[in-house]
Amino acid sequence: MASLRRMKTVFQSPVDPEFVQNPYPFYDQARASGDLVHWEDYGKVAAVSQRAVSALLKDRRFGREVPEEMQTPGPEHLAPWLAVEAHSLLEAEPPRHTRLRALVMRAFTSRAIAALEPSIHDLTHSLIDAFPDQPFDFLSTFCTQVPVITICRLLGVPEDMSPSLLRWSHDMVAMYQASRTPETETAAAASSQAFADFLIDYIEQRRNDPQDDLITRLIVAEEDGEKLSREELVATCILLLNAGHEATVHSLGNGVKTVLQNGIGPQYFAPDSIDRTVEEILRFDPPLHMFTRYAYEDIDAFGHSFKRGDEVALLLGAANRDPAVWSDPDRFDPTRAIVTNTSFGGGLHFCVGAPLARMEMRIALSTLFDRYPNLRLSAEPEYSNTYHFHGLTKLMVQI
């Protein structure tokens, strides 16, 4: 085995305004030092190259679940949020993850997703029909509405609940942001409790009145004679609602911003081009920039010795701009041949909703630029201080 080298330490506050608006120069600087760097502000090793991020996402010696000897009861004021996290597919490893994911995949089928296509077309057109003549916030008017209404329809949750679902979801995922405060924690706990209470009641309704929706399919799904517990059902529905719209909102917003800033013509949203355009949007400015893993054993990888319990930050945004994989990676080019990026993760935790997110983006973007090929920005877009997420505060446009 090659001798282990000294790792470069890098310094960058994740709440620094310049970094929030454009983290990519920092990623370039870090990647120039090798596959791994020590990010001092987080106090952990960060993988910054595409080969390291991709390999560690797939390496079963790393995982999401906190090693047993490191697990501690969380603070009492966060109990509702921690209760949801404890049963989340995203935070589980085998054998628990294997069982949970198999049950979710029995309900979250390609047929169920494909069946949504006509309603996404209709929804997209109805939202575009309502565009005002004066400048408006495209993020709240369009990007937020497409995924949240779609995931409501998939799950079978009333669409008029979407404002509450959005509020609860934003409060819960804010726990992962570098800008987290005590107020963030209070809001996350309250919203977790409200979200869980709503779903417990709604799941009971579905038990008594089954419908052709995802919640009903999750209730009846079995794997080796086992069904999802009530806590697992609640956590799974919350995960699907949160992940099912948060990432797609920012993928659409970041994508439209990039398209309008680069003067990309409507031909790139035609049927024979749209897949490449969507993948380039996901590569160029992904909605999630960091995903973490714990080492489950002592491991030598990419010139570093990890000890059991060490946490590694996988920088998806850095991996997607790696010049070893993509030529001129800081240029948005919708004609690129599709090469797998890391925006949806990889390995055991590859996003179950990736096919739905891609379909939403294909339909929403192709419809939008077919009807409004001359859509333009009416103000300079700004990113929100929400790292490790990467999305806009608003996106003002004019039709």
Which pLDDT score, from 0 to 100, does residue 335 have? 96
Which pLDDT score, from 0 to 100, does residue 227 have? 87
Q: Where are the alpha helices (DSSP H) in 266-379?
A: 274-284, 316-319, 354-371
| Count of C-beta atoms within a 10 Å radius of residue 208 | 6
Residue by residue, DSSP assigns 345-368 as --GGG--TTHHHHHHHHHHHHHHH
| Count of C-beta atoms within a 10 Å radius of residue 94 | 13
Residue 3 lies in a domain: no
Residue 4 lies in a domain: no
Pick from 367, 363, 345, 366: nearest CA to 354: 345
Task: Identify the H or E element spanning 28.
Answer: helix 24-31
**Domain total for the chain?**
1
Q: Find out whether the peptide bond into 14 is cis, omega within 30 degrees of 0.
A: no
User: Which residue range forms the structural domain that includes residue 383?
Assistant: 9-398
Residue 390 lies in a domain: yes
Which pLDDT score, from 0 to 100, does residue 5 have? 60
Which pLDDT score, from 0 to 100, does residue 2 have? 37
Distances (CA, A) of 314 to 67, 89, 256, 279, 331: 18, 19, 26, 20, 22
Residue 145 lies in a domain: yes
pLDDT tens by residue, the chain, 399 residues:
333 567 999 999 999 999 999 999 999 999 999 999 999 999 999 999 999 999 999 999 999 999 999 999 889 999 999 999 999 999 999 999 999 999 888 878 888 889 999 999 999 999 999 999 999 999 999 999 999 999 999 899 999 999 999 999 999 999 999 999 999 999 999 999 999 999 999 999 999 999 989 999 999 887 778 888 999 999 999 998 888 778 899 999 999 999 999 999 899 999 999 999 999 999 999 999 999 999 999 999 999 999 999 999 999 999 999 999 999 999 999 999 999 999 999 999 999 999 999 999 999 999 999 999 999 999 999 999 999 999 999 999 999
CATH number at residue 251: 1.10.630.10
Which pLDDT score, from 0 to 100, does residue 245 have? 76
Distances (CA, A) of 228 to 89, 115, 343: 11, 24, 28
Whether the Cβ atoms of residue 322 and residue 298 lie closer than 8 Å to each other: no
Q: Is 276 exposed, middle or buried (0-12, 13-18, 19+ CB in 10 A)?
A: middle
Residue 179 lies in a domain: yes
Q: Where are the alpha helices (DSSP H) in 93-181?
A: 96-107, 110-114, 117-129, 138, 145-155, 162-173
Amino acid at 350: F
Residue 150 lies in a domain: yes
Residue 1 lies in a domain: no
Q: Locate 344 and state its tokens.
A: 């949806």
- Say which residues have a Cβ less than 8 Å from residue 314's Cβ, sequence separation at least 6: 46, 47, 53, 56, 57, 290, 291, 292, 293, 342
Residue 230 lies in a domain: yes
Distances (CA, A) of 277 to 42, 280, 305, 354, 355: 33, 5, 39, 16, 15
- Say which residues have a Cβ less than 8 Å from residue 40's Cβ, sequence separation at least 6: 9, 10, 11
pTM of this structure: 0.94
Q: What is the 3-state secondary structure (H, E, C) of 29-86?
A: HHHCCCCEEEECCCCEEEECCHHHHHHHHHCCCEECCCCHHHCCCCCHHHHHHHHHHH
